[in-house]
Amino acid sequence: MFRKRFMPVLITVILGISMVLSGCSQQSELTKVKLSEVTHSVFYAPQYVAMSKGFFKEEGLEVELTNGQGADKVMTAVLSGQVDIGFAGPEASVYVHNEGKEDNSVVFAQLTNGDGTFLMGREPDPDFKWSDLKGKTVIGGRKGGMPAIVLQYVLSKNGMAAGKDVTIDTTMQFAAMPGAFIGGQGDYVIIFEPTASSMEKEGKAYIVASLGKESGEIPYTAYFAKKSMIEKNPELIQKFTNAIYKGQKWVASHTPEEIALAIKLQFPEENDQILISAIKRYKEQNSWKTDPILQENDFYLLQQIIKDAGELNKIAPYEKVVTKQFGENAIKNVK
């Protein structure tokens, strides 16, 4: 009688315990990947979507994300082994290669398709022209970094030269720039979202132009790791690239409102409408790549822009600094 009454309950309990243990086992089997990002911005929405939607976990990975606060610091963390993967401008890998480092960093996936900063002034200026910057000082980020380089590129497209017509302040890291501008330094500043919209909402600065719209498509932010790390862990790099590609596909097929909801945990204190408007801006200017491959012609365009800015003495070979095999495999296998 006892066996008949309690056997179904006992089986249910055993099955439940088994499922819990199985779940714990699957959780413990996740491979931890240490990732350092150059800064924390809505500009990197596909990455945050890959985290929140479980795309990394689907690939058996657990991402430990830290803010490196600058491409130079991210690269230092990668080369010293403090992190597995770096996320910053591809120019950082070009510089390392050109320094002759044997175990140089190699770019294996690209996320953003152009500049993600916005030029901000102290007053609203709906009639802003780039020629208005003549004789002015723009806080432009670290010397040799992508924001300052693209700013120089945009100035040259508009018939002006940095140092001659416009002063670019390259004495500070990006994290310090909003506070410096609010504190009275510079006439203009370039800022990523959502900080740009937050400053505008608070009346501390006003968006007058988009560097992304003006510069066009440029390989701006990408993932890289030491050559030895990629050679020893190709499966991990492939899984990581697969997850990023899933994030790119998801962002491409969803609305700003849906994307804002998906990445909200990354920006818990940010106003929902600011997140949505920032995402709309990035969508409208085609900021996010729809696949993870850094193409050869784009890589050489980037280097030419850096060279024209006076930050590059020689052109690095594509095959030494970039690999597209992981991006190609992701496109082939991720449906």
Residue 233, CA atoms < 13 Å, CB-side half-sphere: 19
7 burial (CB, 10 Å; 0-12 / 13-18 / 19+) is exposed
| pTM of the model as a whole | 0.87
Q: Hey, do 31-114+217-333 and 127-215 end up sharing a CATH topology, with the first three levels equal?
A: yes
Contact 178, 207 (CB under 8 A): no
Answer CATH for 31-114+217-333 from 3.40.50.10090, 3.40.190.10, 1.10.760.10, 3.40.30.10: 3.40.190.10
User: Measured between alpha carbons, how far is residue 295 from residues 52, 169, 178, 244 in Å?
Assistant: 28, 31, 33, 17
- 295, 303 contact by CB (below 8 A): no
What does the pLDDT profile of the chain (335 residues) look like in tens digits? Answer: 444 444 444 444 444 444 444 444 444 599 999 999 999 999 999 999 999 999 999 999 999 999 999 899 999 999 999 999 999 999 999 999 999 999 999 999 999 999 999 999 999 999 999 999 999 999 999 888 889 999 999 999 999 999 999 999 999 888 899 999 999 999 999 999 999 999 999 999 999 999 999 999 999 999 999 999 999 999 999 999 999 999 999 999 999 999 999 999 999 999 999 999 999 999 999 999 999 999 999 999 999 999 998 999 999 999 999 999 999 999 999 98
Q: What is the DSSP letter of 288?
A: B
In whole angstroms, what is the distance from residue 138 CA to residue 188 CA? 5
Residue with tokens 């060279």: 307
What is residue 115's DSSP assignment? -
Alpha carbons within 13 A on the beta-carbon side of 319: 0
Question: What are the domain boundaries of the chain?
Answer: 31-114+217-333, 127-215
Domain 127-215 - what CATH class?
alpha beta
Going by C-beta distance under 8 Å and a sequence separation of 6 or more, which residues neighbour residue 129? Answer: none
